[in-house]
Amino acid sequence: MKHTKNIALALIVVFILLGGLMLIARPKSETPQVATAVGTLADLKAGEDTFDFGSVSMAAGKVSHTFKVKNEGADPVVVTKMFTSCMCTSASITTKEGKMGPFGMPGHGFIPAINRVITPGEEAAVEVVFDPAAHGPAGVGRIERVVTLESGDSEPLKLGFGATVTP
């Protein structure tokens, strides 16, 4: 029995040592390099910067629209923040890195730094979801909302939409 325990202990030590050697010997993963030159949100061009849902019924539920933005500059653009102008609206961003969000209105939850890089020539999608019932019966009529993308010190990119809310 003692001999079996010693063999088991020796095997465990050998596996631990082999595992450590494999960790040391493995190739280092490539860390993405952030370009030293960074474009501004002015380099992001939206196929459309406003959209009208037309007549939207509260009873029918949420509606969504996707804005396409493309980096037409020579340098990467880093979107640091994205938020909406009202709690009835949420927005998500999808880049080659994947989807991130939804994000809402400042003051109605934490708005994290997102730091999404959009490389030259890359297109990103900004999906906007509007809940016409969020304001209750007082929310009937014409509305205008904005989704804002920020990047450092440059002017923000604003994507707007409107709708006429009916019961």
Residue 158: domain span: 41-166
CB 62 within 8 A of CB 127: no
Worst-scoring range by mean pLDDT, 37-46, 87-96, 99-108?
Answer: 37-46
- Whether 22 is in a domain gets the answer no
Task: Give all strands (DSSP E) within 16-110, no chain letters.
Answer: 44-46, 50-57, 63-71, 77-79, 81-84, 89-95, 98-103
- Write the CATH number for 103: 2.60.40.10
Q: What is the DSSP letter of 88?
A: T
**pTM, entire model:** 0.74
- Express each pLDDT in 49-78 by its tens digit: 999 999 999 999 999 999 999 999 999 999
pLDDT at 74: 93
CB 165 within 8 A of CB 143: yes
What percentage of the chain exceeds 70 in pLDDT? 77
- Whether 90 is in a domain gets the answer yes
* Number of structural domains the chain divides into: 1
CB 132 within 8 A of CB 58: yes
Q: Does the structure show a pLDDT above 90 at 5?
A: no
- Whether 143 is in a domain gets the answer yes
